[in-house]
Amino acid sequence: MDLIALASCLSSPACIVTQSTGGLIIGMLLFLVAAGLTLIFGVLKVINFTHGSFYMLGAYFALTIFQFTGSYTLTILGAGAATAIVGLVFERLFISRVYGQNVLMQLLVCYGFVLIFDDVVKIVWGVEFKSMGMPPAFQLPPLFIAGGVVPPFYLFLIGMAFLIGLALWLVIDKTRLGKTIRAVAHNPSMVAALGINTGFLYGLVFALGGLLAGFAGALAAPVRSLTPGMGFSILIESFIVTVIGGMGSIMGAFVAALALGLIRSFGSLGFPLFTDGLMYLFMVVVLIARPTGLFGKEIA
């Protein structure tokens, strides 16, 4: 433990700024992944264990698209779209076969794909660490905010993730499509009886989850190194986020993701060996106090 380092950081505005932006980056990427996860769970009651792999695929798609086009805008859009297609195909061909079955059977199917996607990435892109590099538009001198160093891309990442989250909220909360999605989450057979194609909606929700994970992968690609196992760690962390926030609650995912990002960022100063432990401790405390998570509703 290194409480002195933590205390000295908390007494310096520069350090607080640096650590906070670091924490926000972690938190925002986590949010994008966890939002898809929690959306899929809320609507389909499926715990999508392949969601980390979607994030990984998004990042690798981004790498390839950026190498070919050199345009980061195209990279983000392309990676999101490609991952959305992966999500759609995965749901229509495989996950749709195990709806209503034992949760563990769904988990098994997902885990099979986690292994397969990891190997596919190894075959296509190789086992070694890859890095996309910073897009030229962001190769600018860092900003200084209250003495803290903040790379401009960090601000872009946080802003983009925030806008994507806002757009997601508008779609789910304000549009007719969002209303239908919420209805199908509530009572699928009633929605089907009203003549709405629920299979199509399920596929769409998975595609939306894939889109979010793909965006997250593309936004992470310039600041993270890409490895075939990168989906695994974000998977566990985004599970913590969805559980703390309450399964199915996008707002909960947002709050929990930011909290977790800040815990990771400041915790790594004070408790370098126990950073992961802090996250789990946080989760234990939240679940003991509120067994359905911060924003969760009782599911019978």
Please report, as ranges, the residues that interact with another protein according to CB under 8 A: 47, 94, 97-98, 101, 103-105, 107-109, 111-116, 118-120, 122-123, 236, 239-240, 243, 247, 273-274, 276-277, 280-281, 283-284, 287-288, 291-293, 299-300
- Considering the complex, state which of residue 115 and residue 167 has its C-beta at the smaller distance from another protein: 115
- Considering the complex, state which of residue 103 and residue 194 has its C-beta at the smaller distance from another protein: 103
Can you list the alpha helix ranges (DSSP code H) found in the chain?
Answer: 3-10, 13-44, 51-69, 72-93, 103-125, 152-174, 176-186, 188-193, 198-220, 230-245, 250-270, 275-289
Smallest gap from residue 283 Cβ to another protein (A):
4
- Considering the complex, state which of residue 4 and residue 236 has its C-beta at the smaller distance from another protein: 236
Q: DSSP letters of 192-216?
A: HHTT--HHHHHHHHHHHHHHHHHHH
158: nearest Cα among 265, 285, 61: 265
Smallest gap from residue 263 Cβ to another protein (A):
13
The residue written with tokens 């859009």 in the block is: 77
Smallest gap from residue 276 Cβ to another protein (A):
5
- Considering the complex, state which of residue 66 and residue 239 has its C-beta at the smaller distance from another protein: 239
Residues making up the chain, counted from first to last: 300
| 30 token code pair | 């986590």
- Considering the complex, state which of residue 194 and residue 236 has its C-beta at the smaller distance from another protein: 236
Instruction: Give the alpha-carbon dihedral of 75, 79, 81, 85, to 10 degrees.
Output: 160
- Cα 44 to chain centroid distance, Å, stands at 18
Query: Which residues, other chains included, contact 75 with Cβ-Cβ below 8 Å and sequence gap of 6+?
Result: 62, 65, 66, 69, 135, 218, 221
What number of CA atoms fall less than 13 Å from residue 262's CA on the CB side? 10
Smallest gap from residue 109 Cβ to another protein (A):
5
- Considering the complex, state which of residue 242 and residue 265 has its C-beta at the smaller distance from another protein: 242
Smallest gap from residue 231 Cβ to another protein (A):
12
Smallest gap from residue 111 Cβ to another protein (A):
6
